[in-house]
Structure 1
Amino acid sequence: RRYPSLTLNLLLTPIMLLLLFVYIFGDAMSGGAGRDAYIAYLVPGILLMTIGSTTIGTAVSVSTDMSEGIIARFRTMAIHRSSILFGHVVGSVIRTLLSLVLVGAVGVAMGFRSTDSTVLEWVAAFGLLALFTLAFTWIAVGMGLGSPNAEAASNSAMPLILLPLISSAFVPLDSMPGWFQPIAEYQPFTPAIETLRGLLLGTEIGNNGWIAVGWCLLLTVLGYRWSRAQFDGESA
């Protein structure tokens, strides 16, 4: 309600990419496998990209609150200091999960179907998306606190959109240049995408699941400590 145009723009970005890569580039990108096969490959990557794009709004809203003085007002009230940050995080996680439901519904309408996934695998997939959302939300909060204004916060958070573009979201890793494959393979998005594909499509997960969870836990801790350090420093 506070930033409707920003929220709509960040939400439409992954949907437009999904439509673009399926209906315009789908036949070429599928490598002869067909559009249906490519949409099954693409949707898990778009879901993770939705997390990266939606959390940019968190960085912008945090930076806006810091620059407009509302945080100073909160500090004079009888509330726990950490509740200000946790409020942003909880609100962003809920907004992002709702965005994931919408993007997933668009994917299903376009023809995406899960392959013999069990209830446990669906729960694990949702848990991975929620954990990934939490991790990048804390990183976005840190970016917002470290930015002097909303424009700077939006620019500093752009890697959250760019990283999925250099992952396995759109093309397999073995189609990339050999020198670049290790970079794409071990950045946070690729293990999470491959784990999500394994849970929903039955592909091989290997050690990607542990790497994805490890990235999420590491980024959550780093983002939380970074955000608290900046916020407490502002309060001093």
Structure 2
Amino acid sequence: MSVTSESRAGAAAATRALGPTVRRDSWEGSPGRLLRHSWILATRILRRWSRDPATVLESLIMPVALLVTLNTVLGKGISEATGHSALYSSVPLIAMVGAMSGSMVGGIGLMRERANGLLSRLWVVPVHRASGLLARLIADAVRILVTTIIILCAALVLGFRFRQSVLESVIWVITPVAFGLAFSAIVITLALYSAKTLVVEATEIVWGSLMFFSTGFVPLDQYPRWLQPVVEHQPVSCAVDAMRGLALGGPVLAPMTEMLLWSAGIGALCAIPMAIGYRRASMRG
């Protein structure tokens, strides 16, 4: 045996003595590992949110308080103008607001994890590369779904009722998740490229504008004529109109399709910048 062969054999024996090695290519493209790792990381995020009073206040308590306030102040007038309970507009509106407003907490949390080095530490452990980002979207989807159910429970106490089938009711509950995830993608992208939380906090202006200039706040004909096309076709109005139809009866397909197109378009625009930004943030030493 040559000296070179003996050296290679000795190196191999030393490597085996240190224990098994992990090859990234053995699991990097595995969908099963991606889902498992994403869910583990998502539960970590959800557990942290559940223990944070500010997150609970922003995501759960504030939307319910806003619903009660909106119904108390505007409920009677809207009911008289439309001929049906204002809850069929205000409840979908607050569900959409809850889906959007809670994403700000997740964005700020992401910035903190980038600053304290947690993202870079997670990047070097043997988990799927895409699991960190996917976990945040899964956690947001769970947050939005829980928020919507809590808002619905409060609405049922106020008198809201489903007048359609069980299928329409289920679709109603999951509708805010679609645009809520698209809005979360915007917030995550901003958080990955921003040095200060002010940029993420400024998204309140966006969802506040979408709330006040929507058909869920007041009927469409109450807005100035020149503004009505904008109000009618913005994503929150589309979601509110679709959810009203799912609960009360009326057009669903057209507003739902328009809302899904908004969501898909926003998601497509954010996908690449979000993936690149997360990789760069994770590789910072």
1:206 shift after superposition: 5.7
Post-superposition shift, 1:82? 1.8
Using the TM superposition, give the Cα deviation of residue 101 of structure 1 relative to its aligned residue in structure 2, in angstroms.
0.7
1-structure distance, mates of 2:258, 2:272: 21
d(CA) in 2 for partners of 1:52 and 1:161? 10
TM superposition shift of 1:58: 1.8
Counterparts of 1:156-195 in structure 2 under 5 Å? 156=203, 158-195=205-242
| Secondary structure of residue in 2 paired with 1:169 | coil
Normalising by structure 2, what TM-score? 0.74
* Structure 2 equivalent of residue 231 of structure 1: 278
Distance (Å, rounded) in 2 between the aligned partners of 1:133 and 1:89: 10
Q: In the alignment, which residue of structure 2 is the partner of 1:12?
A: 61
Superposed CA deviations along residues 103-149 of structure 1, whole A, max 9, x for unmatched, are 1100111111112x112212332342332232222222112212213
Deviation at 1:5, TM superposition (A): 1.5
Identity %: 25
The Cα shift of 1:32 comes to 5.3
Task: For 1:90 and 1:73, locate their aligned partners in 2 and report how far apart those are by CA, in whole Å.
Answer: 21
* In 2, Cα distance between equivalents of 1:203 and 1:47: 19
User: 1:200 matched to which residue of 2?
Assistant: 247
The answer to whether the Cα contact below 8 Å between 1:58 and 1:144 also exists between their aligned partners in 2 is no
What one-letter code is carried by the residue in structure 1 that aligns with 2:233?
Answer: Y
Q: Greater CA deviation, 164-173 or 150-159?
A: 150-159
> Once the 2 structures are TM-superposed, how far is the Cα of residue 56 of structure 1 from its aligned partner?
1.7
Aligned length: 234
Q: Does 1:45 align with 2:93?
A: yes
Gaps of 5+ in 2: 1-47
Aligned partner of 2:74 among 18, 22, 25: 25
Distance apart, 1:44 and its partner CA: 1.4
Contact 1:194 1:208 (8 Å CA) reproduced: yes
Q: Distance in 2 between matches of 1:157 and 1:210?
A: 25
TM-score, normalisation: structure 1:
0.89
**Which structure has the larger Rg?**
2
**C-alpha displacement of 1:28:** 3.2
Q: Distance in 2 between matches of 1:152 and 1:68?
A: 19
**In structure 2, C-alpha distance between the alignment counterparts of 1:16 and 1:207, rounded to whole Å:** 31
Q: 1:165 to 1:13 in 2, by over 3 A?
A: farther
User: How far is the alpha carbon of 1:171 from its aligned partner?
Assistant: 0.7
- Structure 1, unaligned runs of 5 or more: none
Q: Which 10-residue stretch deviates more, 44-53 or 226-235? A: 226-235
Residue 112 (1) aligns with residue 160 (2)? yes
